[in-house]
Amino acid sequence: MRIFHIQTSGVTEGLSLPELTAQGLPTQGYVWIACARREFEVTQAEVQAALQTLCGVQLLDLHISDLINNQLPSHYDYTSQYDLLVFRRLAAGNRPTDLEQPGQPLNVAPKRGGPPILRRIDTSPVGFAVFDRVLLTVHPTDCAVRDAYAAKLLQAASNESHGAGARLPTSPADLMLRIVNHMVDGYLALRKELTQQLDHWQNELLSPRGRFTNWGSLLDARMALHQLDDVCEEQRSSVQDWIEAIKTWPEPNSPTEARERELLQVRSRDVLEHIERVVHHVRRLEQSVETAVQMHFSVQGSRTNDIMRTLTVLTAIFLPLNLIAGIFGMNFDFIPLLHQQGGFWWALTSMLFIAVVLAVFFWRKRYLARSVR
């Protein structure tokens, strides 16, 4: 568990949960409590007691179940005292989560098909409980997103203390949106490798001299992209619900609060725009795969038609020759040219002439034209 005290002058870390509970909320700023899912499940009584002391309210049992659940889709819920957002991340995780032990990573990764980048995308949910001056986040075990943003937050605080760097989050809601935006941007960083892998498969599918045999991985990739599309849709729906909920908040009492509310709405719309970019990219990849498969079968059908056309033309050329050979092979006592000295050469010349005439005819009709690839 990591606990941060965030205020306009900087960010500090180091308090434990019992120390924070004993001291209470600081006079300025707010507190970010970040814990792993399994840790939250084991210490939920202590966390509830700390929330009661700091905020005067505890999490509902239903919301605790949502935060512990490792398979819950992205969604938004609220009460009169706090807001709850569950957001499934799209991060490059090497160790998936054990479904039977929430928050515990598996020692051995399950076998999955598709591109390696798709096998590394972890869609474990991250829970946010947003109070007035406390943000409680529940992450998967060894969450790189939490650690990366915590390092980024400390770096931003250090830069701001020297008069440079980005502005620190002004409220728990602002901090939540920044973490969500960090998770969405994590997928945008993965899309280049994913696009390159699918482009490679498209080139193999459309190669005129190649024989594509990796159908199992391609089908797994299509299923994985469908799942990513569903995850992104859930993300977009949850953020849209959050944006609509902001509009119902009480009117701000001062110009400073109004300014912060406006910045919060702008950041929320920015997060939604980033999610829509991810949705657009995933759907474009799905369409590219579908189009490549359809073009592959179209090319295969066209290639088969060319082969059948060539074989048909060759058969048509040799049919008259077989007819002549069949006539001269009949068991009759008298056949014209059969007993003449030049009969064989006359028949051979006629067969060659007919073959040449038919070949020229079919060539003029473009039945023997080479298809352009």
Q: Specify the CATH number for the domain of residue 158.
A: 3.30.460.20
In a domain, 369, yes or no: no
Q: Are residues 48 and 172 in the same domain?
A: yes
Q: Are residues 290 and 321 in the same domain?
A: no
Classify burial at 370, counting beta carbons within 10 Å of its beta carbon; exposed 0-12, middle 13-18, buried 19 or more: exposed
Domain harbouring 342, CATH code: 1.20.58.340
Number of domains present in the structure of the chain? 2
Q: Are residues 198 and 243 in the same domain?
A: yes
Q: CA–CA separation, 354 vs 344, rounded Å?
A: 15
Q: Are residues 188 and 215 in the same domain?
A: yes
The vertex-177 CA angle with 277 and 145, nearest 5°, equals: 80
Q: Are residues 263 and 356 in the same domain?
A: no
In a domain, 165, yes or no: yes
CA distance readout (Å), 139 to 58, 87, 146, 176: 19, 10, 7, 13
Q: Are residues 237 and 111 in the same domain?
A: yes
- Per-residue pLDDT of the chain (373 residues), as tens digits, is 888 888 877 888 878 888 888 888 888 888 889 888 888 888 888 989 888 888 888 999 899 988 888 888 888 998 888 999 998 877 655 444 444 444 444 444 444 444 555 666 777 888 999 998 889 999 887 777 788 888 888 887 776 554 444 578 888 888 888 888 888 877 766 677 677 767 776 777 767 666 666 666 677 777 777 777 888 888 888 888 988 888 888 888 888 888 888 888 898 898 888 888 888 887 887 787 777 777 777 777 877 888 888 888 888 888 888 888 887 777 777 777 777 777 778 888 888 888 888 888 888 877 776 554 4
Q: CA–CA separation, 247 vs 239, rounded Å?
A: 13
Classify burial at 310, counting beta carbons within 10 Å of its beta carbon; exposed 0-12, middle 13-18, buried 19 or more: middle
- Under DSSP, is residue 45 helix (H, G, I), strand (E, B) or coil? helix
E strand segments, 179-328:
none
Question: In the listed set 260, 278, 298, which residue is the last one of a domain according to the structure?
Answer: 298
Report whether 86 contacts 238 (CB < 8 A): yes
Question: In the listed set 298, 325, 342, which residue is the last one of a domain according to the structure?
Answer: 298
- Note the maximum CA span of the chain: 124
Predicted pLDDT at 128: 92
Q: Are residues 69 and 131 in the same domain?
A: yes
Predicted pLDDT at 226: 78
CA distance readout (Å), 103 to 69, 90, 141: 9, 16, 5
> What residue type is 58 in one-letter code?
Q
Q: Are residues 231 and 264 in the same domain?
A: yes
Q: CA–CA separation, 224 vs 263, rounded Å?
A: 35
In a domain, 370, yes or no: no
CA distance readout (Å), 240 to 272, 340, 368: 7, 96, 61
In a domain, 304, yes or no: no
Q: Are residues 153 and 275 in the same domain?
A: yes
Range of the domain at 87: 2-298
Question: In the listed set 276, 298, 320, which residue is the last one of a domain according to the structure?
Answer: 298
Best CA proximity match to 134, nearest among 238, 256, 26, 38: 26
- Under DSSP, is residue 139 helix (H, G, I), strand (E, B) or coil? strand
